[in-house]
């Protein structure tokens, strides 16, 4: 018998900060190493050292490159991590882009806070900077999708396609004869850009995301909605601003708008993509064509149909452009990035429409807009909301309840335990009841910093 401790260091009782630490006599493994986003209480967790000896971690396994799954890596290295960080080649490419962008945003926000004096901290400092990211990258090592990787005696891992974003996987970890399956974030069954997720067939211990564990995505006529919003924007001679996640969502929106234009369903309205990170991710699509559905001619045509904005000078030129226009800019939950500049200048105009796409975490500006906020605080100032706010849920890159159940539906054994992670309270409990009722499997909802000991 061998003793294994599972530390739930993030993504537990919340949808952000995913970190799951498996501590054993043979090897110590951290699955994902995410940044906390959302409420102030959660964000403050990023400033605290992990309650484990970081120098003892042998390897980090990354399911994918989103900030809430990889954003804490530079801090891990600062705290003494000396091991290897494994992920698929596109995941590591995305992670590098996201970490550099995160560091840059933190540096800029600290600088702005110091100049304008709106931080309680003197001086305000970034959690990590671009040099910290550069010190993290040498730890990266890519793995092949579907190939078994030997990590230590009696321990191997396999990264398998799960269709959430380019490069994303679920992880099958075989440890001392038991199969631990970490879902990562599971993608959609029918996605414009990505194939359907593969499914696990055996899980002794299953860690499954529950972002939409309490609901199914609505069936929406996405093309029709976009068509109507473009027509409204032209009629109002205004701006359609779409805050977007730079990875996958931004490329999906580009593809949908290009497709509508190709079908003569919308005119050739100027489309500006203002996300340096999104542009970098677009380049990853070009580098890894085997990871998505687009042909290279479709990819190039879609790319040429939009104006890629790079500098802040071009951002202001776009804002001042009097033509009706579509602007897709980061970030998706309106927590930072270029979209804040557009909203600060254009959100108080009735001719502006803000289209939110996908999940909006608690206490983010995106969630506040959804809930009908009359004003938003940005750069230390309160900006009135006069724009019309719309929401598209079905563009989510996360599987909904029925798709999650389908993803688990090929498991041939009865897992010893199912851990429900990466979800808000209501989603977690609804999903727990659904799995126990439908599958009869024993589910547990771990709390942040819970430590569970099991014998193998």
pLDDT at 122 over 80: no
Output the six-digit token pair for 300. Answer: 């190039």
Query: Taken in order 325, 330, 335, 338, is the CA torsion positive or negative?
Result: negative
pLDDT in tens, 222-238: 999 999 999 999 999 99
> Rounded CA gap, 97 and 140, in Å?
13
Q: Give Cα 422 distance to the centre of its chain.
A: 11
What is the pLDDT at residue 398? 93
Give the up-direction half-sphere exposure of residue 399: CA atoms within 13 A in the CB hemisphere.
30
Note whether 204 and 318 are within 8 A (CB).
no
Residue corresponding to tokens 């990354």: 62
User: Is residue 330 within 8 Å of 246, Cβ to Cβ?
Assistant: yes
The tokens describing 118, both together, are 């709106």
- Asked if the model's pLDDT at residue 16 lies above 90, the reply is yes
Query: What pLDDT score was predicted for residue 109?
Result: 85
Pairing of strands 353-357, 239-243: parallel
Residue-level pLDDT at 301: 96
Evaluate if residue 114 carries a pLDDT over 90: no
252-266 pLDDT, tens per residue?
999 999 999 999 999
The CB-side HSE value for 405 (13 A sphere, CA atoms) comes to 20
Could you tell me the maximum CA-CA distance found in the chain, to the nearest angstrom?
71
Q: What is the mean pLDDT of residues 120-144?
A: 93
Residues carrying CATH 3.40.50.10890, the chain? 222-392
Q: What is the average per-residue pLDDT within 394-409?
A: 95
| For residue 139, pLDDT beyond 90 | yes
> Which fold is adopted by the domain 222-392?
Rossmann fold (3.40.50)
Read off the pLDDT band of 115 (50, 70, 90).
Answer: confident
Q: Are 300 and 245 in contact (CB under 8 A)?
A: no
- pLDDT at position 411 is 98
The answer on pLDDT for 204 being more than 70 is yes
C-alpha torsion angle, residues 414, 419, 424, 428 (rounded to 10): 30
Question: Helix, strand, coil: what percent of the chain each, to 5?
Answer: 35, 25, 40
| Confidence at 329, pLDDT banded by 50, 70, 90 | very high
* Confidence (pLDDT) at 116: 79
Q: What is the dihedral of CA 379, 382, 387, 390, to 10 degrees?
A: 70
| Per-residue pLDDT at 117 exceeds 80 | no
Q: Are 358 and 396 in contact (CB under 8 A)?
A: yes
Mean pLDDT for the chain? Answer: 95
For 102-112, write each residue's pLDDT tens digit.
999 899 888 88
Which part of the chain has CATH 3.60.15.10? 3-215+397-455
Region 321-346: what's the mean pLDDT?
94
Handedness of CA 292, 296, 299, 302 (dihedral sign): negative
Q: Is the pLDDT of residue 380 over 90?
A: no
Q: What is the pLDDT of residues 125-135, one digit of tens each?
A: 899 999 999 99
Is residue 96 very low, low, confident or very high in pLDDT (cuts 50, 70, 90)? very high
Can you give the pLDDT at residue 119? 66
pTM across the whole model: 0.91
Q: Residue 38: pLDDT above 90?
A: no
Mean pLDDT of 380-391: 95
Pairing of strands 140-143, 84-88: parallel
Mean pLDDT along residues 275-279:
89
Query: Does the pLDDT value for residue 292 go beyond 80?
Result: yes
Query: For the residues 207-233, what does the mean pLDDT come to?
Result: 96
Q: Which CATH class is domain 3-215+397-455?
A: alpha beta
Q: Report, as an integer, the average pLDDT of 302-325.
A: 96
């Amino acid at each position: 018998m061998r003793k294994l401790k599972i530390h739930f260091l993030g993504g537990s009782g919340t949808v952000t900060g995913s970190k799951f630490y498996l501590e054993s006599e043979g090897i110590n493994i951290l699955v994902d190493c995410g940044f906390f986003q959302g409420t102030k209480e959660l964000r403050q967790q990023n400033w605290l050292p992990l309650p484990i000896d970081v120098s003892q971690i042998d390897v980090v396994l990354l399911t994918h490159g989103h900030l809430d799954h990889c954003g804490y890596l530079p801090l891990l290295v600062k705290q003494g991590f000396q091991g290897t960080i494994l992920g698929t080649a596109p995941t590591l490419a995305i992670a590098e882009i996201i970490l550099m962008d995160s560091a840059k945003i933190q540096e800029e926000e600290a600088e702005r806070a110091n100049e304008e004096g709106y931080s309680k901290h003197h001086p305000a400092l970034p959690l990590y900077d671009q040099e910290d990211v550069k010190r993290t990258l040498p730890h990266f090592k890519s793995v092949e999708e579907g190939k078994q990787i030997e990590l230590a005696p009696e321990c191997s891992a396999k990264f398998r396609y799960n269709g959430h974003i380019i490069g994303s996987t679920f992880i099958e970890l075989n440890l001392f004869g038991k199969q631990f399956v970490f879902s990562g974030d599971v993608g959609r069954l029918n996605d414009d850009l990505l194939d359907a997720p593969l499914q696990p067939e055996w899980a002794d211990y299953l860690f499954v995301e529950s972002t939409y564990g309490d609901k199914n995505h609505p069936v929406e006529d996405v093309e029709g909605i976009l068509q109507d919003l473009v027509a409204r924007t032209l009629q109002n001679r205004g701006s359609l601003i779409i805050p977007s996640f730079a990875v996958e969502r931004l490329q999906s929106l580009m593809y949908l708008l290009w497709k509508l234009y190709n079908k003569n369903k919308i005119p050739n309205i100027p489309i500006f993509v203002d996300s340096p990170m999104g542009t970098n991710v677009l380049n990853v699509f070009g580098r890894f064509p085997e990871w998505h559905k687009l042909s290279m001619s479709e990819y190039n045509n879609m790319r040429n149909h939009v104006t890629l904005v790079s500098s802040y000078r071009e951002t202001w030129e776009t804002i001042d452009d009097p033509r009706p226009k579509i602007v897709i800019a980061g970030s998706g939950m309106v927590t930072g990035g270029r979209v804040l500049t557009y909203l600060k200048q254009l959100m108080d105009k009735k001719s502006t429409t803000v289209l939110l796409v996908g999940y909006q975490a608690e206490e983010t500006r995106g969630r506040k807009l959804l809930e009908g906020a009359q004003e938003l605080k940005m750069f230390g100032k309160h900006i009135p909301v006069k724009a019309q706010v719309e929401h598209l849920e079905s563009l989510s890159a996360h599987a909904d309840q029925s798709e999650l159940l389908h993803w688990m539906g090929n498991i041939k054994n009865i897992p010893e335990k199912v851990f429900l992670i990466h979800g808000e309270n209501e989603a977690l409990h609804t999903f727990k009841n659904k799995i126990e009722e439908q599958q009869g499997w024993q589910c547990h909802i771990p709390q942040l910093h819970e430590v569970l000991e099991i014998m193998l």
